[in-house]
Amino acid sequence: MVIKHQWIFKTESPWSDANQKMLVLDTGGWRTERPVLDKSLCNYCGLCSLYCPPQCMRDKGDHYEVDLAFCKGCGICAHECPKKALTMKPEGEFTNEG
Ligand code: SF4
Ligand code: SF4
């Protein structure tokens, strides 16, 4: 298997060794849920980004946006969000959106 360099990032995830690189692979089609943000509730604290295992939350300046190419649908971001701004929704609700 050829590992593309752009898929290997340094990680600062709290459970991993920040001195090691982490392999982050495209999720493909196996995610069953995705996090959906209610921007009106988000206070831009960044905890969702901090806890996301594959580090796929992107800083948009006033909120964080999920990079769905790498999101695994684990729900940790929604669980850790202190404002309940993220809700996990079934992928079946987005079949027409890709
Ligand atoms: S953890 Fe919740 S409130 Fe904080 S930036 Fe993420 S979505 Fe917004
Ligand atoms: S569901 Fe998991 S992988 Fe997806 S953004 Fe949230 S923490 Fe990251």
Q: What ligand is nearest to the CA atom of residue 69?
A: 2
CATH of the domain at 75: 3.30.70.20
What CA–CA distance (Å, rounded) separates 31 from 54? 13
pLDDT in tens, 31-77: 999 999 999 999 999 999 999 988 889 999 999 999 998 899 999 99
The pLDDT assigned to 2 comes to 54
- Global pTM? 0.81
Q: Which two tokens stand for residue 28?
A: 């493909």
Q: If you measure from the C-alpha of residue 3 to the centroid of ligand 1, how many angstroms do you get, rounded to a whole number?
A: 31
21 occurs within a structural domain: no
Query: Who has greater pLDDT, 13 or 68?
Result: 68
Whether the CA torsion 44, 67, 36, 47 is positive or negative: it is negative
The pLDDT assigned to 85 comes to 98
Q: If you measure from the C-alpha of residue 74 to the centroid of ligand 2, how many angstroms do you get, rounded to a whole number?
A: 5
What CA–CA distance (Å, rounded) separates 39 from 49? 15
Domain extent, residue 49, equals: 29-94
How many structural domains compose the chain?
A: 1
pLDDT in tens, 16-30: 565 666 666 788 788
The pLDDT assigned to 98 comes to 52
49 occurs within a structural domain: yes
